[in-house]
Amino acid sequence: MSKVSIVIPVYNTEKYLPECLDSVLSQTFQDFEIICVNDGSTDNSLGILNHYAQKDKRFKIISQENQGLSGARNTGLDKASGDYIFFLDSDDAIPQNALETMVKIATDSNVPLVASEAKKKNKKSISYNYQIYHHPLADFIQNRKIHSSAWNKLYRADILKMHRFIPGIYFEDWPFLTTLMGQIDSYATTKIPCYYYREEGSSITRSAFTQKKVDSYLTGIKYVYDFYKDRPDLALAQKRMNVAVKMMVNKVYKTKDKDLAHYTLSQLQFLFEKGIIKKYQLSFKSLFRLWKMRYMK
């Protein structure tokens, strides 16, 4: 069994995929398996994956009909056999010392999750150091010591055995992390950059805001509520749910789309009535924008 399972969802990233895979193969820590989930790519991504698999037996290539990022990651989790799991997007890369650094921190500190710095460009690593925290959910929601992305983190595999991404939605990382942080009692962070992410072209966060994106936020909110509703830390989790409401309202408001605004209002009214979201806990800015959305023409 490999020490680390690297899960790479792949969808039409032939331009960047070789750089991503080469960054994995160049790791100073080599005890890993690479689970690449070809999520219905229509370009040459599968051909590139097969080429690498022919050269290195640690590659496991899985092809499936397009299920989106959540579905691809879940498939990878189902096939992962390592002690630790690391998510890597196929248009990103990791520095040579990424796995060595994170595995060492995980084993030295005996925590179930290690989060690193993430950078847009390669930067020189600082000296080896890390900090351990013992209030994961509170830190995640209140102090933001840990970014709400699934990547740039090393997870102990046993904590993910019953944990999956919500299928078929956008913005799947925040409910995944919000519920996960309620399942662990500690985590570690390091300022050593262990992830290089790419920001160019179109992305889900920068593309047009649609009803499906509204529904994705709503699904995430309900998912988090259902997880915490019978727990004493529900009020804390609701603070993160309120952040999701704020982000959704801001994006809908900026579209100036009357139909989308009224749809969002009707869905939020349901959440208010059920007590899933406390209206009085929302910021004045969010409440003002909700009022403005009601009268959009």
Each residue of 45-73: pLDDT tens digit?
A: 999 999 999 999 999 999 999 999 999 99
Same-domain pairing of 119 and 218: no
What is the domain count for the chain? 2
For the CA atoms of the chain, what is the radius of gyration? 20
Q: Which domain-ending residue is among 196, 227, 261? A: 196
What count of other Cβ atoms lies within 10 Å of the Cβ of residue 222?
A: 18
Query: Is 192:118 a contact under the CB 8 Å cutoff?
Result: no
Residue 72 vs residue 200, higher pLDDT: 72
Q: Which domain-ending residue is among 196, 231, 256? A: 196
Which structural domain range is residue 59 located in?
A: 4-196
Q: Within a domain: residue 202?
A: no
Same-domain pairing of 234 and 180: no
Return d(Cα 229, Cα 225) in angstroms, integer: 5
Same-domain pairing of 225 and 187: no
Lookup: tokens for 27: 């790791």
Q: Which domain-ending residue is among 129, 163, 196? A: 196
CATH number at residue 192: 3.90.550.10
Report the pLDDT value the prediction gives residue 205, as an integer from 0 to 100: 56
Q: Within a domain: residue 201?
A: no
Q: Within a domain: residue 248?
A: yes
Mean pLDDT score, 133-153: 87
Report the pLDDT value the prediction gives residue 288, as an integer from 0 to 100: 97
Helix axes 234-255, 173-180, angle to 10 degrees: 170
Q: Within a domain: residue 183?
A: yes
The pLDDT-based confidence of 240 (bands split at 50, 70, 90) is very high
